[in-house]
Amino acid sequence: MSLRNDTTSRRTTVSMVLVAGLLAESIALAGTSFAGQYEYLPGANAFRTVEDSIELRYDSNNRPVYTDEVLQTEEMFIINSAEDLRIAFAQQGRELNTTFYLKIKASINVREILQKLESGLTRCSWKFDYTADAKGNKVAADYYLYMFTVEYRDDFKILQTFRDNTLTPKLTKNELALKNKAEKIITEIIGPDMTDYDKTLAVHDYIVLNGKYESASSDPVIRESLHKTEGILMNGVGVCSSYAGSMQLLLGIAGVESLFVAGTGQNASGITELHAWNKVKINGKWYNFDVTWNDLVSGGPGEISYAYFALPDDAFSANHQWDRQAYPQSAPDTAFNYYYYNNLVAKDYSQFRSIITQELLKRKNDNDITVSLYVENFDPNVYLLNFIYNILPNIKKAAYSKPGGASGELILKISQEGTNR
- What is the overall mean pLDDT for the chain? 80
Range of the domain at 197: 155-337
Q: Which residues contact 21 (CB under 8 A, 6 or more apart)?
A: 48, 49, 52, 53, 129, 130, 132, 138
Question: Is residue 65 pLDDT above 60, yes or no?
Answer: no
pLDDT tier for residue 56 given thresholds of 50, 70 and 90 = very low
Q: Which residues pair with 111 in a beta bridge?
A: none
pLDDT tier for residue 206 given thresholds of 50, 70 and 90 = very high
pLDDT tens digits for range 102-121: 888 889 988 888 877 767 88
Same domain? For 326 and 366 the reply is no
The mean pLDDT of 145-167, rounded to a whole number, is 92
**Predicted model pTM:** 0.80
Question: Is residue 256 pLDDT above 70, yes or no?
Answer: yes
Question: Is residue 71 pLDDT above 70, yes or no?
Answer: no
Asked if residue 3 is part of any domain, the answer here is: no
Residue 405 has a pLDDT of 67
Same domain? For 286 and 402 the reply is no
Asked if residue 211 is part of any domain, the answer here is: yes
Residue 407 has a pLDDT of 75
Same domain? For 310 and 365 the reply is no
Phi, psi at 370, each rounded to 5°: -125, 130
- Contact between 342 and 336 (Cβ < 8 Å): no
Whats the size of the chain, residue-wise? 421
Residue 101 has a pLDDT of 82
- Kindly provide the b/e burial profile for residues 154-182, where b requires at least 16 CB atoms within 10 angstroms of the residue's own CB: bbbbbbbbeeeeebeeebeeebeebbeeb
Same domain? For 266 and 138 the reply is no
Same domain? For 278 and 378 the reply is no
Residue 120 has a pLDDT of 87
pLDDT tier for residue 87 given thresholds of 50, 70 and 90 = confident
Same domain? For 72 and 193 the reply is no
| Long-range contacts of the stretch 361-369 (C-beta < 8 A, 24+) | 361/391, 364/391, 364/392, 364/419, 365/419, 365/420, 365/421, 366/416, 366/419, 366/421, 367/415, 367/416, 367/417, 367/419, 367/421, 368/413, 368/414, 368/415, 369/412, 369/413, 369/414, 369/415, 369/416
Same domain? For 237 and 333 the reply is yes
Asked if residue 321 is part of any domain, the answer here is: yes
Number of domains in the chain: 3
Asked if residue 52 is part of any domain, the answer here is: yes
pLDDT tier for residue 173 given thresholds of 50, 70 and 90 = very high
Least confident of 10-24, 59-73, 97-111, 199-213: 10-24
pLDDT tier for residue 79 given thresholds of 50, 70 and 90 = confident
Select from 152, 177, 207 the last residue of a domain: 152
Say which DSSP state 81 is in.
S
Select from 308, 337, 366 the last residue of a domain: 337
Select from 337, 367, 389 the last residue of a domain: 337
Question: Is residue 48 pLDDT above 50, yes or no?
Answer: no
pLDDT tens digits for range 314-343: 999 999 999 888 899 999 999 999 999 999
- Contact between 201 and 254 (Cβ < 8 Å): no
pLDDT tier for residue 26 given thresholds of 50, 70 and 90 = low
Same domain? For 329 and 349 the reply is no
The mean pLDDT of 343-353, rounded to a whole number, is 96
Same domain? For 274 and 209 the reply is yes
Same domain? For 197 and 330 the reply is yes
Residue percentage of the chain with pLDDT more than 90: 56
Same domain? For 258 and 372 the reply is no
Asked if residue 12 is part of any domain, the answer here is: no
